[in-house]
Amino acid sequence: MKLKQFQSYLKSNNIDLVFLIHPDPNIIYFTQMKPSFALLLITASSAELYLSKLDLPPKVKGISVTFLQKDWEKRLADPKIKKIAVNKLTLSLQFAEKLKKLYPNAELVDVSSTLNELRAQKTPVEIQKITKACSITSQAFDALANRFSLQKFKTERDVAFFLEKFIREHDAELAFPTIVASGKNSATPHHVTSSAKLKPGFLQLDFGACYQQYCSDMSRSLYIGKPTKAEEEHYQLLHAAQLAPIKEVAANKPFTELDKISRKHLGKYAAYFIHSLGHGVGVEIHEAPAFSQEAKQMIKPNHIFTIEPGIYFPGKYGIRIEDTLLFNGKAKILTTASKELLSLK
């Protein structure tokens, strides 16, 4: 991906070596594979992937591949290294201590935010892959909505399995464990899909395909039976609170602004909106840009992120509507599945 751009950064910051250790999403980003175990060493002029013999070496421009030898520590140790960069978000304390021994004269700096920013603005190839992942996800939902019947789908797991089969049949993997939450279960945003019988009431889905290492993320609420007037109103309010921030997506706008717009639309129900409005999506299902107050991030070209307000009434039900979007001058919804409240039988 943006290896050269990252290498320029290393040069201008006098970083001798970047040492990335599995598991690190940046290794997936640069190699476009998910290794069993790997080290990725990047300098201003080279990139070497040390791979487990159990994996098939990837072919990536600018990255050479060596199988990891037992004595790799001895081979890589280098007292001449003065400035070494790591990803402090994933580097374990144990490995950090090992690095200090291998590079005893090196200052250790963090490149996690640099890498996160780099990855947040997607390249054309990445946009293509995420678009494809979103398209598979949307198609899976449409297929479910078309074929649903309470005779065929008896449990949460049946629904999850249908979606997952569809995704796998379209050359993709799951971006994360599929959430299917029926009735009261939907009041827990991260409900663990179970063998619980489908019940009349809201049926909450949150799932995504991962196509060639790139994720998509989508949530839809369905209804088994006929919603009450209040339920229908809650859904329509939530839908409006999801569309409102999407309409306001614009370059250099802070993500916190979008969050405020959505909560304002929810009015008194904002108290039941207990999570963030969204997050970036890429090789990780949650990556930069972050929507939090502290992150202070703003919308930039080729950011790909979710907008996903939800309201949760403890012990009753919860609903969440989520799309994955691309910002390319304006907001483009990539998860195009219908957001009408479908009434299932």
Q: How far is the CB of 14 from a copy of itself (least distance, A)?
A: 21
Q: Cis peptide before 309, with omega less than 30 degrees from 0?
A: no
Q: What is the DSSP letter of 162?
A: H
Under the binding rule (CB under 8 A), the answer on residue 97 touching a copy of itself is yes
How far, in Å, are 116, 141, 176, 242 from residue 182 at the CA level? 35, 16, 19, 22
Task: Work out whether 150 is an interface residue with a copy of itself (CB under 8 A).
Answer: no
What number of chain residues touch a copy of itself (CB under 8 A)? 37
Candidates 177, 267, 301, 329; binder of a copy of itself (CB under 8 A) is: 177
What 8-state DSSP symbol labels residue 322?
B
DSSP letter at 141?
H
Candidate list 8, 14, 64, 92; residue touching a copy of itself; CB under 8 A: 92
Identify residues 52-81 at the interface with a copy of itself (CB under 8 A).
Answer: 52-56
Q: Is 51 exposed, middle or buried (0-12, 13-18, 19+ CB in 10 A)?
A: buried
- Does the protein bind a copy of itself through residue 146 (CB under 8 A)? no
Least separation in angstroms between residue 4's CB and a copy of itself is: 27
Instruction: Please tell me what DSSP assigns to residue 69.
Output: P
Of 161, 227, 241, nearest to 193 by C-alpha is 161
∠ CA(208), CA(212), CA(214), 5° rounding? 50
Closest C-alpha to 189, from 316, 318, 314, 290: 318
Sites for a copy of itself among residues 194-253 (CB under 8 A): 195
> Which residue, chain included where needed, has tokens 């309470």?
150
To the nearest whole angstrom, how small is the minimum distance from the Cβ of residue 177 to a copy of itself?
7
Residue 165 interacting with a copy of itself (CB under 8 A): yes
Contact in structure between 19 and 85 (CB atoms under 8 Å): yes
Shortest CB 64 distance to a copy of itself, Å:
19
Are the CB atoms for 13 and 42 separated by under 8 Å? Answer: no
Query: Is 91 near a copy of itself (CB under 8 A)?
Result: yes
Restricting to residues 284-343, name those near a copy of itself by CB under 8 A.
none
Q: Between 74 and 229, whose beta carbon lies closer to a copy of itself? A: 74
From 115-123, 189-197, 232-240, 248-256, give the range in contact with a copy of itself by CB under 8 A: 189-197
Residues binding a copy of itself (CB under 8 A): 33-34, 36, 52-56, 86, 88-94, 96-97, 110, 112, 157, 160-161, 165, 168-169, 171, 173, 177, 188-192, 195, 274-275
